Amino acid sequence: MYSSFFCRDKQLFGNVFDLWLAGQESTAYTIAWIVLYLMKDLKAQEKLHAELTKVIDSDRFITHEDKNNLPYLNAVIAESQRLGNLLVNNIPRRLISDITYHGYTLKKDTIVVPEISQVLYDEKIFPEPHKFLPERFLDSDGKFQTKPELIPFSIGKRACLGESMARAELYLFTANLFNHFEVSNLHKKEENFFWGGCGKRSKEL
Ligand code: HEM
């Protein structure tokens, strides 16, 4: 019975479609935010290139083995996920019983929509929350230091199923893209921000 339930074509289609839908634009848009933030903040992009030049120093493929040696890259990804704030409102929940929370009584069956952005933009945890500041994820020794409040994948039992895959994609794509290219804003004006340029990085390091 177990296998006949899971082997139905409809079930398989539904599961694969879920993964495709949930996994595609979320990761692609996050990468787009990373590129745009670095296009806008050329100092941050210079720092990233300096780190890649220092640590990788070649055109070779950057792998997971390099991850711990690239703290600024990890900080750029973390800060882009925080500021990009992909899923502003999390997926709604329905209460299965009456609860009292911080003095508020909520009835069974109430729909609750957790706001991830309230956490990602909490200025007590992330001062100047609307600024792109990768340094907030570096400790005093320059090592990458995440924060428990960085929750773009949500938390709890129903948190993102594809988190580890998404993290791998964001890291590998960003690292290898910026090891080969620099991106810039062709018009140098805020209103033309989306008209970017992309050039091959010189490997005469
Ligand atoms: C940067 C990329 C991604 C972000 C920011 C993201 C974020 C999220 C968030 C916030 C949720 C809702 C969790 C909740 O209800 O508490 C979610 C659910 C989900 N995500 Fe992702 N996701 C990403 C990439 C992916 C990838 C690559 C996959 C799969 C290949 C994936 C598959 C899923 C699935 C299946 C769920 C539903 C989990 C459930 O309801 O139990 N996601 N994601």
Average pLDDT, consecutive stretches of 10 residues, N- to C-terminus, the chain (205 residues): 66 90 93 96 97 96 98 98 92 95 95 94 97 98 97 94 96 98 76 57 51
123 in a domain, yes or no?
no
Task: In whole angstroms, give the CA distance from residue 185 to residue 12.
Answer: 44
Task: In whole angstroms, give the CA distance from residue 147 to residue 45.
Answer: 22
109 in a domain, yes or no?
no
H or E segment to which residue 54 belongs: helix 42-55
Q: What is the pLDDT of residue 4?
A: 61
Structural domains counted in the chain: 1
Q: What is the pLDDT of residue 205?
A: 36
Q: What is the pLDDT of residue 204?
A: 44
Measure 87 CA to ligand 1 centroid, in angstroms.
Answer: 9
Name every protein residue with a CB atom under 6 angstroms from any ligand 1 atom. Answer: 18-19, 22-23, 26-27, 30, 86-87, 90-91, 152-154, 158-162, 165-166
Q: Which residues are annotated as a binding site for heme?
A: 160
140 in a domain, yes or no?
yes
Measure 112 CA to ligand 1 centroid, in angstroms.
Answer: 18
| Closest protein CA for atom 20 of ligand 1 | 160
181 in a domain, yes or no?
yes
171 in a domain, yes or no?
yes
Contact residues for 191 (Cβ-Cβ < 8 A; gap 6+): none
110 in a domain, yes or no?
no
- Find the domain containing 158 and state its range: 36-87+129-200
Q: Would you say 113 and 90 are in contact if contact means Cβ atoms under 8 Å apart?
A: yes
Q: What is the pLDDT of residue 12?
A: 87
52 in a domain, yes or no?
yes
Which of 19, 86, 91, 153 to mutate to test ligand 1, by most ligand atoms within 8 A of the CB atom? Answer: 153
196 in a domain, yes or no?
yes
Which of 160, 165, 173 to mutate to test ligand 1, by most ligand atoms within 8 A of the CB atom? Answer: 160
Measure 159 CA to ligand 1 centroid, in angstroms.
Answer: 7
Task: In whole angstroms, give the CA distance from residue 193 to residue 187.
Answer: 7
